[in-house]
C-alpha cells in the first residue's frame, strides 16, 4: 500500500516529457523522407535506370517549372480560381442544407437522396456531359462543387445531430426558441465536424476541378493545369507535364495545411482535438 501511495504522490510523479523534440521530428522526418525520395529519383535517372525522356529527373522538372512558367502560371491561376470558387459554393451550400436537414426531417427526406446521388455518381462520367450542356468554365466549376459538396453536408449534419441531449433538454427547460438552440448550442457543437468536412472538401474541390479539366482537354480546350497534364505528353513535353503535376500536389498540400491551421486556431482553446496534452 505504501508503494502504491508513493507512486501516486505528485511529488514522485515523473516529469512530463518535453515536446520540443517531437515537434522537430514531426517536420524533420517528412522532409528527410522527401529528400531521400528526390535524391533516389535523381540518382536513378543519372545512372540510366530510367528513360529521362519519359521520366525526367527532379532537376529537369524544376527547370521546366521555371522555363515554362509562361504557360504554367496562368494555368495554375485558372485551376486555383476554379478550386476556391467550387470550395466556397460547397461550404455555403453544404452548410445551409445541413442546417435545413437538422431542423426539418421533411426537408431531409425530400433532398438528401439527391445529395447521395451526386456523391456516388463518378465525376469523370458527369464532366463530359456538363461540358456539352454549359460552357467550359461553368462545367469545371460545377464539377469542383459536386465533389466537395457532400463531405461538408454530411460532416456538418452529423455534428448538428451529435449535440448533447442533456444540454438540449436544459435549453428546452428554460424555454429556448429553436433559433436560440441552433445558434447557441447546435452550431458550436457541430463546429469541429464542420471544420473536418472543410479539410476533406478542400482537396476534393481541387480533384474535381482537375478531373473536369482533363475532360475538357480532350477537346483541345485551354485552361488549367489538368489540361497541361493531358496535352503535354502528346507533344512529348514530359517535363512540363510532371511540372504541372508537381504544382498540383504542392497546391493540394498547401490547401490542406491552410485549412488545418484554420481548424486549429478555431478549436485550440476549447475542443479536445486541439488541446495539448502532457500524456
Q: Average pLDDT for residues 234-249, to the nearest whole number? A: 93
Confidence of residue 24 (pLDDT cuts 50, 70, 90): confident
Closest CA to 222 of 125, 140, 134, 130: 140
Tell me the C-alpha to C-alpha distance, in Å, between residue 151 and each of 60, 170, 197, 211, 225.
38, 31, 5, 18, 24
In the CATH hierarchy, which top-level class contains the domain 74-267?
Answer: mainly alpha
Question: Bigger pLDDT: 135 or 220?
Answer: 135
Q: Average pLDDT for residues 97-120, to the nearest whole number? A: 93
Q: Over the stretch 154-186, which tens digit does the pLDDT of each residue have?
A: 999 999 999 888 999 999 888 888 889 999 999
Is residue 63 within 8 Å of residue 71, measured between CB atoms?
A: no
Give one word for 221, left, alpha or beta, with left for phi > 0 and alpha for psi -120 to 50: beta
The mean of the pLDDT values for the chain is 86
Give one word for 147, left, alpha or beta, with left for phi > 0 and alpha for psi -120 to 50: alpha
Q: Over the stretch 187-235, which tens digit does the pLDDT of each residue have?
A: 999 999 999 999 999 999 999 999 988 887 654 456 789 999 988 988 8
Q: Can you give the pTM of this predicted structure?
A: 0.84
Rounded to whole angstroms, the Cα distance separating 81 from 138 reads 12
Lowest mean pLDDT among 96-100, 220-224, 246-250: 220-224
Rg for the chain, CA atoms, rounded: 25
Q: Which of 47-51, 146-150, 274-278 has the highest mean pLDDT?
A: 146-150
DSSP H helical ranges for the chain: 2-8, 20-46, 58-67, 69-103, 105-120, 123-133, 136-161, 165-173, 178-181, 187-217, 225-231, 238-267
pLDDT (0 to 100) of residue 17 = 52
Rounded to whole angstroms, the Cα distance separating 254 from 120 reads 27
Is residue 96 within 8 Å of residue 111, measured between CB atoms?
A: no
Is residue 137 within 8 Å of residue 78, measured between CB atoms?
A: no
Is residue 98 within 8 Å of residue 156, measured between CB atoms?
A: yes
Residue 20 has pLDDT above 80, yes or no: no
Amino acid at each position: 500500500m505504501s508503494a502504491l501511495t508513493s507512486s501516486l504522490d505528485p511529488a514522485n510523479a515523473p516529469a512530463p516529457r518535453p515536446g520540443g523534440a517531437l515537434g522537430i521530428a514531426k517536420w524533420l522526418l517528412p522532409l528527410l523522407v522527401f529528400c531521400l525520395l528526390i535524391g533516389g529519383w535523381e540518382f536513378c535517372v543519372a545512372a540510366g535506370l530510367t528513360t529521362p525522356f519519359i521520366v525526367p529527373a527532379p532537376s529537369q522538372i524544376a527547370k521546366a517549372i521555371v522555363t515554362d512558367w509562361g504557360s504554367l502560371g496562368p494555368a495554375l491561376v485558372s485551376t486555383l480560381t476554379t478550386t476556391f470558387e467550387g470550395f466556397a459554393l460547397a461550404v455555403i451550400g453544404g452548410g445551409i442544407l445541413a442546417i435545413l436537414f437538422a431542423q426539418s426531417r421533411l426537408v431531409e427526406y425530400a433532398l438528401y437522396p439527391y445529395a447521395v446521388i451526386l456523391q456516388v455518381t463518378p465525376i469523370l462520367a458527369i464532366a463530359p456531359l456538363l461540358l456539352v450542356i454549359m460552357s467550359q468554365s461553368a462545367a469545371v466549376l460545377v464539377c469542383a462543387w459536386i465533389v466537395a459538396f457532400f463531405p461538408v453536408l454530411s460532416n456538418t449534419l452529423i455534428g448538428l445531430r451529435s449535440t448533447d441531449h442533456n444540454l438540449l433538454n436544459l435549453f428546452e427547460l428554460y424555454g429556448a426558441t429553436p433559433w436560440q438552440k441552433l445558434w447557441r448550442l447546435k452550431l458550436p457543437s457541430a463546429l469541429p465536424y464542420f471544420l473536418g468536412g472543410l479539410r476533406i472538401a478542400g482537396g476534393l474541390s481541387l480533384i474535381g476541378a482537375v478531373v473536369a479539366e482533363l475532360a475538357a482537354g480532350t477537346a483541345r480546350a485551354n485552361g488549367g493545369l489538368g489540361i497541361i497534364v493531358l496535352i503535354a505528353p502528346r507533344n512529348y513535353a514530359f517535363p512540363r507535364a510532371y511540372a504541372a503535376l508537381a504544382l498540383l500536389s504542392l497546391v493540394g498540400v498547401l490547401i490542406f495545411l491552410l485549412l488545418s491551421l484554420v481548424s486549429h486556431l478555431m478549436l485550440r482553446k476549447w475542443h479536445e482535438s486541439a488541446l495539448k496534452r502532457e500524456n
